[in-house]
Structure 1
């Protein structure tokens, strides 16, 4: 059995924090119509935190590929069971909150059901559940790619290369057109992007060498370059939304290099308290992903999230409250099932 890699747990925590940063920090400089608020340099730090959050969703797909594509064998019985768990958790949350809105509204049961399942297409009570919808679709072909990675590596690498090239072509078109070509494709169905990151995760999970790990100083420089690019790119492609940076070659390289760097961190000298905290937050990562938008909605009634300084405070508040909620829910066996995959 492979020894637990705390680096992977740290990646989950960073990915989770990144998602919260994407949703919170955007409030400081992006309007509801997805336009940039011109505040000069006042919101620069919020923008930096927002664009650092671009690692989050790719990290989640890569971690799943890292593990599932490197299992000795994956049967469709395993896949169906995994899909049922994802659907049960996401539908339960969506139904509870959709029912609350539906009662007394006078709408039909059909409307209630539409609202419950619309979360998979980036709508409804939990629009972030598009991720679960995309994961379900990818899981359907995981047994095939698991077999390819184990027995037909050339085919696997070819498919991965084709997906990456597709990402680069789309990013090029974005820049030539001055607007995202995938603007009308909801994130659930952007298979070229998520498939590329998923398969890259599988490749990284099959490698055990630590050779070629970039130095911290070089990684820092690369990170600064990527953030500068992302901030400038909002003018080049006509939108500040970070989701349209995933296909860029510079961003992809940075995410992959950062993933490799974190996976290869030596935790032998790290205190047990820190490692236990990482493990605890890693265990809670999907739960935090589920509840954080509801927490953000509540804090927005109390805090002025458009204020750059308050916005950064809200980032910490939303993450910690979400973590606390998941921690409490995980204390009973029944509610535990609502926050863990």
Structure 2
């Protein structure tokens, strides 16, 4: 076992992976979700998935001793291999089997949400990661020059996010709706910066304080999480936008994300073997989950009980990824090295 790993961060990334499946399995516009309090609550619990992913990335990336553009470009190249590889494989299969040229539409759909017949709508996250990698060297230089400058930058982006959240309640939801997810940069930079903050040595005193009062902060986190879910259900009716993405700027989501990341970063979960088994598959699970969910949901029983899709999709994706990662060359499409 690799004791140098932060198993707490690995665990929260696995949880985030499950929460992504939750978001995609429970459409808040479906009557079975909208009219069922349990299903609706579970859907909004998934709100934390994307903030956690960006924070986890910032946690490690922004606390490296140095980041060059050569390093960023290497990481970007690896992401592009995954994105382009999957789109090319799918488009080639459709061309051969259905004589349809889908390449351009699938590329467009991987960047922009709402593109009809796109099966790579969730790949916007990869494009956002590319943007984060392009700005990471600049942020690291700011951090190395002065931690205070980094704090100021984080506060500025936090205020921008809070202002945008407030604007949704004054009839400006169309601004955020009309902005593709990949270009909602203030949100992704915000969580990227917060992740870097939690992982920074200057944050260690706060971590130590939280560790001394771990149970108290865990209870606070749980209470805030429940309040966030209740607020999200209420907010959907107020602003007329039911999807979880409407709440990423909300102070409750930001607080839960910070506290959760802090708690998991100092946790010592006794699940080493399980974590080491699952964590290498999380990237592949994220890639496959939308396809698997689409297939599983064709069974009528899942239309009545969509919650069951979550564990079924997760287990199926895990099995498929573990199998594919054993195949030479194919494994390149399932891991970001």
Tell whether the structures are fold-level matches, with TM greater than 0.5.
yes
SS of the equivalent of 1:182 reads helix
* 1:25 aligned partner: 26
Tell me by how many angstroms 1:262 deviates: 1.6
TM-score by length of 2: 0.90
Give the Cα–Cα distance (whole angstroms) in 1 for the partners of residues 79 and 262 of structure 2. Answer: 27
Q: Which stretch has the larger CA shift, 49-58 or 207-216? A: 207-216
Q: Is the 8 A contact 1:11 1:262 kept in 2?
A: yes
Tell me by how many angstroms 1:305 deviates: 3.2
Whose helix fraction is larger, Structure 1's or Structure 2's?
2
* 2:333 aligned partner: 338
SS of the equivalent of 1:141 reads helix
Which residue of 315, 320, 340 corresponds with 2:315? 320
Tell me by how many angstroms 1:155 deviates: 2.1
Tell me by how many angstroms 1:180 deviates: 5.0
* 1:246 aligned partner: 248
TM-score by length of 1: 0.89
* 1:148 aligned partner: 142
Gaps of 5+ in 1: none
What CA RMSD, in Å, does the superposition of the two structures yield over aligned residues?
2.1
Q: 1:147–1:165: structure 2 CA closer, same or farther, 3 Å change rule?
A: same
The correspondence of residues 170-181 of structure 1 with structure 2, limited to 5 A, is 170-177=164-171, 179=173, 181=175
Tell me by how many angstroms 1:304 deviates: 3.7
SS of the equivalent of 1:4 reads coil
SS of the equivalent of 2:26 reads helix
Report the count of equivalent residues.
324
Q: Is the 8 A contact 1:178 1:237 kept in 2?
A: no
Give the Cα–Cα distance (whole angstroms) in 2 for the partners of residues 311 and 330 of structure 1. Answer: 29
Please give the per-residue CA displacement for 1:114-142, whole angstroms capped at 9, x wherever unaligned. Answer: 43354122343211000001111111111
Give the Cα–Cα distance (whole angstroms) in 2 for the partners of residues 304 and 5 of structure 1. Answer: 39
Q: 1:328–1:174: structure 2 CA closer, same or farther, 3 Å change rule?
A: same
Give the Cα–Cα distance (whole angstroms) in 1 for the partners of residues 152 and 220 of structure 2. Answer: 29
SS of the equivalent of 1:337 reads helix
Q: 1:73–1:38: structure 2 CA closer, same or farther, 3 Å change rule?
A: closer
* 2:127 aligned partner: 133
**1:259 aligned onto 2:261:** yes
Tell me by how many angstroms 1:105 deviates: 5.2
Q: 1:204–1:158: structure 2 CA closer, same or farther, 3 Å change rule?
A: same
Q: 1:153–1:39: structure 2 CA closer, same or farther, 3 Å change rule?
A: closer
Tell me by how many angstroms 1:181 deviates: 3.1
Give the Cα–Cα distance (whole angstroms) in 2 for the partners of residues 258 and 115 of structure 1. Answer: 35
Please give the per-residue CA displacement for 1:80-110, whole angstroms capped at 9, x wherever unaligned. Answer: 11001000011111111122223365556xx
**1:221 aligned onto 2:223:** yes
Q: Is the 8 A contact 1:54 1:246 kept in 2?
A: yes
Tell me by how many angstroms 1:277 deviates: 1.0
Please give the per-residue CA displacement for 1:155-210, whole angstroms capped at 9, x wherever unaligned. Answer: 22222111111111111010121735301111100000000000110111103332
* 1:159 aligned partner: 153
The correspondence of residues 257-336 of structure 1 with structure 2, limited to 5 A, is 257-267=259-269, 270=270, 274-307=271-304, 310-336=305-331
The correspondence of residues 66-145 of structure 1 with structure 2, limited to 5 A, is 66-103=59-96, 112-122=103-113, 123=115, 124-145=118-139
